[in-house]
Structures are given as structure tokens and as C-alpha cells.
Structure 1
Amino acid sequence: MGLIDEIKSMIYEKRDTYQTLSETVWDFAELHFGEIQSAELLSKALEDEGFAVEHDVAGLKTGFIGSYGTGKPVIAFLGEFDALAGLSQKRNKTVHDPIVPNGNGHGCGHNLLGVGSLAAAFAAKEYMTKHQLKGTVRYYGCPAEESGNGKAYMAREGCFKDVDAAFSWHPDSKNAVQHLSSNAVIEARFTFKGVSAHAAALPELGRSALDALELMNVGVNYLREHMADKARVHYAVTNTGGVSPNVVQAIAEERFLVRSPKPNEVKELFKRVVNVAKGAALMTDTEMSYRIEGGCCNLIPNTALHQVMAGYMEEIGFPEPSKKDEAFIRDIYDSLGDNEKNFAMKFLTNDEREKIAKIPIADWIIPCPDQETFMEGSTDVSDVSWNVPTAQCFTSTWAFATVPHTWQVVAQGTQDFALNAALFAGEAMACTALKAVEDPELLAAATREFKERLDGETYECLIPPSVTPSSLL
């Protein structure tokens, strides 16, 4: 029996366990830094499998690391388990039907993500034990990916300093390695304080914090013309200072995400955004303060590992959905708008369009590209990739054209085809990791490439040392 067959067998003999874990995390649907039940559940699963578990790592109440084995190489699997606000959805429903109005839901599939990585860790541990391979298998329980950048805190505290290779994946509507770079990002909250007054009788005595906030937004909009093409700045107003128009608002707050392709570039762009805020405060005779609440670097891909991972994905093959799965997939696809479908179709070949017309789920494997692509968004996996060679993949846990952070993602999160796709990711990760364990030259090639891509730069966390998860709660 070869590596692939052994790993598939090891993972699928525990399929019922993974289904229970995934669906339970889906039920918990806990937000960033508050994933208490989810972290306890996955930690217990690690302990039951014989892993030694370290809790409260890097100051993260819901961060943990499970380890099995000793010595080198150290192979890491990254798991996530946080949900999103406002995306509650009943299971087995293909129309929008919240369990709780405005409640939480796993709108990015992290219930699957955490369990798929867990399956990879368990299979790698079992295989290494069976074949008496030296090395250490680790599972990193990484909270707050959606808002909070849990992995950046872990990287800042040196949690990956002795790791030789790291592996992760993400639910999606395609099957491919994540051979891409990304924007670095700084998250910050801006607060303006003014003086309240009667807006009609004594407006001259008021100093409007809301005016300052609006002027900041105008200034940032003018700034967009003079940013790099790939840079992004976006915001959400979190406090307008009140609801009465006859009161000059004395306080106003908003959160900004500032993105650019390199850490030094995003730091410079953020300084310019801060200067806009200072100007808005000066114009309105108000006080401005800001606090960085998160951040992560740009993603550094690894060709050596991604080529191997893509090869294993092709060999393993995407799991075929059942007839019941197909019906659910079609209903979800029918719930999507024409804009979503047309946008996704633009990237397909004619043969692929014909496949989607029959069953709207991508069952083919996209080859690893020669050159990485660029993702305008950001991920805290990036901070891991600045510390250790890192490989990731996407698998089709969702109907074709499904948009992340929507109720349709939540609805698909407990379906058999979604779990099978998550375990497919687990198989690909485990096989690639074990290839690196058994083939020192692959690990050496991945490490050489990692150092070449860094080109002498060293990791610096974009979250200041004074900012801790507890300070944000």
C-alpha cells in the first residue's frame, strides 16, 4: 500500500469523528478570541489522540498547540475555528433562514478548516509512528483569523521558530494550491473627541467629532488617487456619537483596514492615513487618537512544496458527490445571483463550463502555476510564511460561484460533500508533509526557496508589542 492509500485509509476510518467535530464547531459558531468551546473541543480531540497540548499560547485564551513525537523535522498543520457575525443559517436549508436573526455563522467554513487540518495531523502522526519516522507533528489551534490575526500573535511570540514546514488549506469553490502572494494589512481604530452643544441654540460652542470623522473619510478618498494600484483602504463607522441631529456629537469612531503588497509599504501608507486623520481633527478643533488592533504581513508562497501538493491533489482526486449532495449543490447554485455566476464563469474553459452545467461544483484540480498570482485581501497565514516554508490549498467545499462570507457558505458547512472536500485537503496536506519528512531534499529545496524569497529581509510583526488580545476585548 502506497502513501496515498495509507493516508486515505487512516483519515476515512475516523470520518465519523471528524464529522462530529466539524458539525459541533459549526453549532458553536463563536467569534474571534471567544472560541472557548471550539478550542476546548479540538484540544480534547488532540489529547485523546495522544498529543501533548499547550494551552493559552502567545497570550491567546483560545490558542493552543498539540504536539506528538520528538526531534526534527517539525511539521505544522494550521487550524482555524472562528465564525462570523450576522451569518446565522439553519442547516440543510437552501434558502436564507437564520437560526437566530443576526446571529453568528461559519461563513468562511472554518469549522471544516480546523477539522481538515486536524485530520492531516492525525494521519501524519499515525503514519510516522507506523513507519518509525523521526520527527514532530504539531497542530496549531489558531483563533481569530477573521478579525484579530491570531497567527500573527503566535508568530510574534516565536511559536514557529523551530518549525521546518507548515501546511494549511481553506474552503473554496475550486481545487488548487494557494500559489499566491497577498497584501499586508494594518487594522486600526480611529477615535475623534469633540464638545457637545445644542446644535441650534449654541452651535458655535460645539466641536463635532462626527464632522472630523466625515472629513477623514473624504481625505482618504482623495488619497486613493495617489496610492499604489494594489493598495486598498476601507473602513466601517462603529460609533456616530448619537442619533439626535440637534446635538453636536462629541465622539465618533471608525475602523480602517490599510493594505499594500509589502510590510514597509503598508506602514508608509498607514502613516499617510494617520496624517489625514490629524488634518481632520485640526480642521474641526477636535482631538484624534488611534489604536492599531491587528495586522499581518504579505503571503510568501513556496513553489517546491506547492508543486508536490498539487501533484498529490491530482493523484488523490476530488471526492465524487452523491446524488443527494448534487441536489443540494444545485439548489445552492440556483440561490446565487447572476453577477456571482457570471464573474466566476469568466475564469473557466469551455470544457469546465460544460461540467458546471451538469453539476455546479468544480471537481477538477487546477495545476500549480509557474508564477504566483496576487490576492488583494490578506491572511494571517502570511506571518507564518515569513517564518517557515508554508504550503496551502483550496478545495471545493462549496457549490461553484459561492461567495465567501455569505449564508450559502454556512448552509453548506454541514453537508457530506463539504466534509469530504475538507478531508481531501487533509489527505493532500498529510501526503505533502510526509513527503517532506521522508525526502530531505524536498525540505532543503523548500527552505532554500524560502530564504531566497525573503532576500535578506527579516520578520517584523505589524502588531505593536503593546497590543495584546486581552487589550482588545
Structure 2
Amino acid sequence: MTSVQALKPLIATLAPTFHKLSDDIWDHPQLRWEEHDAMARHIAVAEQEGFTITRDIGGIPTAFQAEKGSGGPLIAFLGEYDALAGLSQEAGSTIRRPDPQNTTGHGHGCGHHLLGAGSLLAAVALARHLQDHGLPGRVRYYGCPAEEAAAGKSFMVAAGAFDDVDATLSWHPAGGTGTQSTQTRSLAYAQARFRFTGVASHAGVSPHLGRSALDAAELMNIGVNFLREHMPDSARIHYAFTDAGGTSPNVVPACAELYYLVRAETVATMQDLYDRVVAVAKGAALMTSTELDVQLEGASAEILPNRVLEEALHSTLTEVGGVPFDQADQKQAAAFSAGFASEDIRRTRVSCGLLADDPRCLHDGVPALAAPEHRPLSSGSTDVGDVSWVTPTVQILSSAVAFGTPWHTWQYIAQGKLPAAHKALTHAATVIAATGLDLITRPDLLAAARTEHTAVTAVTPYVCPIPKDLLAPPARG
């Protein structure tokens, strides 16, 4: 009996509980570092299954781990549950319509309500199987906060939370199915707040006495825009005004704040670019006679692929097959795809190994495993990267939304409670749980994954992008 055959019936039995868990978290969206409700719901389910809970991982109130089992290797599953601001949306609606029951205004525009519930389902199923069959092995589930541009896992890694883990598995809802690290390479990133403090004054009567923090912020943006010509093509810099210094034009603004995110292919390249952005900010402060305070909020490394785990997971995925969508699912997805650019839909289909004019709007297949040298570079980032540098890590993407659905949008949220999304959750849990069982019952497989990881990190050691003395924002007092 294969691991898939051993676990698939159990996961099917458990799945409704975790579909409800994902829906409950979708109904109560919370932002990074504030996911107390989602964490409590995850902990309640884990405790019912006999997991031992450890809270406040890395001093973060919304980070925890749940563990069950004894002896054997330690296999971990990563869960996320943070939402995005201002994306409230009614479930199933193909037009922009905020959810009338949503009291926060936030929304799960990246499917993290599914991600956490699916990973916990995998952990529970694997732990039950080990217990029922008297097999040695420990299963650990990590409740990870603040993946959305805040690097919760990076702070957990820096605190040593993954030092004893033998291998880690995770997944992410997406517009197509496949082994994630073979499909794309992620970017390292850092994010920081740049706060300028000047001197307020009457803009008409005594402007010469004022020192405009808003001028400094605008000069910083201008300087960074000139910097864009002189940075790698694959790098990215994004910003938002979090404080523009007030609403009165007749007052010289004494304060202004910018929130910057800097991305590049490696930690070293990102750090160099980030330092140049900081230098531009210092120049803007010098030109305006204002004071500058820079607060690094978080940072993350790029993902380190592990080919042994990729091949093992892909073998499991091939046995499981694609997400089992039916005609009703395809019809619902078509209603969403009708509002997307046809070129985006065709491009996504082709990337999933389908013909550009394939009539399906949900990916229900399994693409071939890409060669390592053909991994395209994604312009996105994830704090799973830091985990991958301290323990062998692999992820699966499971198709949950219609072709062409942009991430971080209301359209993504609207599909988050449909039957297709629940099927993706169950599908991913089956694949990563079965791969985890293989790693426990096949010592040679786990040893090969760890040997590869050790060989790569011996040549290119992990460089933590977070300074040693930097605490996660909620732990700073």
C-alpha cells in the first residue's frame, strides 16, 4: 500500500472539519501580527487531536507550534492565516461587492485561510496514521503569522524554531497545480518604514522657519526613482505613504512616513539595494534639514530548492492526480474568467501544460516536473525561503481559483469559499501528508534530502536577512 492509499481515505473523512475551519477564518480576516482569532481556531482543532501546543514562538503572540508523536524523524508542516487590508468581498460574487458581514474590511486575497487549514489537515492525518499503526515519528504544525509582507517565519527561524526539524512541507492555493519551487524562484526582500521629522510652521507667514518632512519623503521617492535605472532588472522596489503629514496645505508638515519594500534575487543583492535606498533617504533628510528614523520591519531570503524533495513530492502528486473539479466547478470558474484578460488566461493555461485554447477554466491536471535549470524567476517573495535554508523544504501549488485570477484581489477572495477551493485544500493536504509519510518510513529518502541540503549550504551558507538584535514588531514593546 502506498502512502497515498494509506492516507487518502482518512483525509477524506477529516476534510469537512478543515473546510469549516478555512471558512471560519475567511469569515474573520485579520492582518499580520493580529491573527489571534485564526490562531485560536487552529489551536482548538490541534488540541482536540492531542497535539501539544507551544505558544509565542520567537516572542510573537500569534505564532505557535503543535506537535504529536514520538521517536523517528520530525516532519513539519507550515500554515499561514493572515489576510490583506481593504479587500472585503462577498463570497461567490463575480462583481465587486464587499461582504456585508465583514466587520474588519480585510480579506484573504492570497488564500491563507485555505493554506493554514490544509497544512493542519495534513499534520493531523499523518499524526493519526502514525499513532494508529504504532509508527515512530513526530509531526509538527507551525502556525505562522504575517507572511504578507512582514516575514513572520523569518523571525521564527532567527529564534531557532526550525533547528530540530528534519524536513518541512507546505502548499499554496493558486491558479494551477505543480511543485512550486520547480516552477518559480522567489525573490529575497526587506521592508522598512522611513519616518522623517521636521519643523512645523505657517506655510504662508513663516515658511522659512519650517522644515518639511513631506518634502523629504517626496525627495526620497524621486531619488529612488532615479535609482531604478541602476539596479538589476529582476529587482523590485515598492512604496506606500503611511503618513503624508496632515491635510492642511497651509502648515509645513512636521512628519511624514513611507513604507518601502525592496526585492532582489538573493539576500546579498537585496541587502546591497536596500542599503542604497537607505542612503537615498539620508540624502533627502540632509537636503531638507529633517531627521530620519529607519525601522526595518522584516526581511526574507529567497527559496532554496531541494531536488530530492521535489521529485518525491511530484511522484506523490502524480499518483494523486490533479484537483478533482467537476463541471459545476468549471462553470463557476468560467463566470470569473469572463472578467479577466484573455491573454492572461491563455498564458496561465500554457504554463500549466495545457493548450492556449483549452476550454477549462480550472486546472485539473498535473504538469511535468520542470528541469532545475528551467526554473523561471518570480517577482514575488515568501518567508518560506528562510525555512528552506535551515531545513529541506518543498511546497505544492494546488489549483483553487480560475485561470487568470490575480493574487491579492477581490476576485481571489470571492472564490475562497467555493467547492473548488475546498477541493484544492483536500488535494494539497493529501499530497503533502503522503510525502511526509514517505519521509518518515523511507529513511533513505530523508537522508538524501538532507545530504543535498547540507552540500548546498556548505558552499552557500544561509545569511539571515534579519539583524540578530531585531525583534518581530509585536515583540518590540
TM-score range relative to shorter protein? over 0.9
Report the equivalent of 2:421: 418
Distance 1:67 1:202 in 2: 64
Residue 378 of structure 2: aligned partner: 375
Is the contact between residue 192 and residue 297 of structure 2 (CA under 8 Å) also seen in structure 1?
Answer: yes
* Equivalent residue number for residue 216 of structure 1: 220
Aligned positions of 1:78-93 closer than 5 A: 78-93=78-93
CA–CA separation in structure 2 for the residues paired with 1:409 and 1:415:
11
Aligned length: 470
SS at match of 1:127: helix
2:267 to 263, 288, 292: 263
Q: Distance in 2 between the 1:169 and 1:346 partners?
A: 21
Map 1:77-226; keep pairs closer than 5 Å: 77-100=77-100, 103-179=105-181, 180-226=184-230
- Comparing 97-106 with 28-37, greater Cα deviation is found at 97-106
- Tell me the CA shift for residue 208 of structure 1: 1.1
Normalising by the residue count of structure 1, what TM-score does the alignment of the two structures yield? 0.95
User: Secondary structure, in 3 states, of the residue corresponding to 1:192?
Assistant: strand
Residue 405 of structure 1 corresponds to which residue in structure 2? 408
Stretch of structure 1 that moved more, 443-452 or 209-218: 443-452
On the 8 A contact 1:178/1:301 being kept in 2, the answer is no
Tell me if structure 2 keeps the 8 A contact 1:292–1:467. Answer: no
Preserved CA contact (<8 Å) 2:350 2:356: no
3-state DSSP class of the match of 1:289?
Answer: strand
1:223 shift after superposition: 1.1
Q: Report the Cα distance in structure 2 between the residues aligned to 1:76 and 1:348, rounded to whole angstroms.
A: 28
Post-superposition offset of 1:339: 5.7
> Which residue does the alignment assign to 2:21?
21
CA-to-partner distance for each residue in 1:121-171, whole Å, 9 max, x for gaps?
A: 112112222332211000001111113211111101101001000000100
Alpha carbons of structure 1 residues 230 and 319: separation in structure 2 relative to 1, 3 Å? closer
Partner of 1:61: 61
Question: Secondary structure at 1:258's aligned position in 2?
Answer: strand
Relative to the length of structure 2, the TM-score reads 0.94
Distance 1:402 1:74 in 2: 36
- 1:346 Cα deviation from its structure 2 partner: 6.0
Aligned residues of 1:36 and 1:62 also touching (Cα < 8 A): yes
- Give the direction of change, closer, same or farther, for the CA distance of 1:452–1:36 in structure 2 (3 Å limit): same
Rounded to whole Å, the distance in 2 between the matches of 1:458 and 1:107 is 34
Partner of 2:8: 8
* 1:6-30 deviations in Å (ceiling 9; x for gaps): 2110100112211111111111111
Aligned to 2:288: 284
- Report the CA distance between 1:368 and its aligned residue: 2.0
* 2: CA distance, partners of 1:149 / 1:323: 38
Asked if the contact 2:153/2:387 (under 8 Å) is kept, the reply is yes
| CA distance in 1 between partners of 2:251 and 2:326 (Å) | 61
Secondary structure of the 2:77 match is strand
Matched with 2:398 is 395
Deviation at 1:471, TM superposition (A): 4.9
Counterpart-to-counterpart distance in 1, 2:244 and 2:347: 35
Conserved? CA contact 1:184–1:259, under 8 Å: yes
Which range is displaced more, 362-371 or 154-163? 362-371
List aligned pairs for 1:31-70, cutoff 5 A: 31-70=31-70
- Counterpart contact for 1:293–1:472, Cα < 8 Å: no
Residue of structure 1 in register with 2:318 after alignment: 314
Matched, 1:227 2:231: yes
Q: What is the CA–CA distance in structure 1 between the aligned matches of 2:343 and 2:207, rounded to whole Å?
A: 47
Deviations 1:357-391 (A, max 9, x none): 2x211112122211133222210101100110000
- The CA RMSD measured in Å over matched residues stands at 1.8
Gap change, CA 1:441 and 1:373, over 3 Å in 2: farther
User: Structure 2: which amino acid aligns with 1:377?
Assistant: G
Relative distance call for 1:348 and 1:60 in structure 2 (3 A) is closer
Q: Structure 1 residues 319 and 226 mapped into 2: Cα distance closer, same or farther (>3 Å)? A: closer
Distance change (3 Å), C-alpha of 1:156 and 1:286 = same
Which residues of structure 1 form unaligned runs of 5+? none
Distance verdict in 2 for CA 1:194–1:471, change over 3 Å? farther
**Offset, 1:345:** 5.1
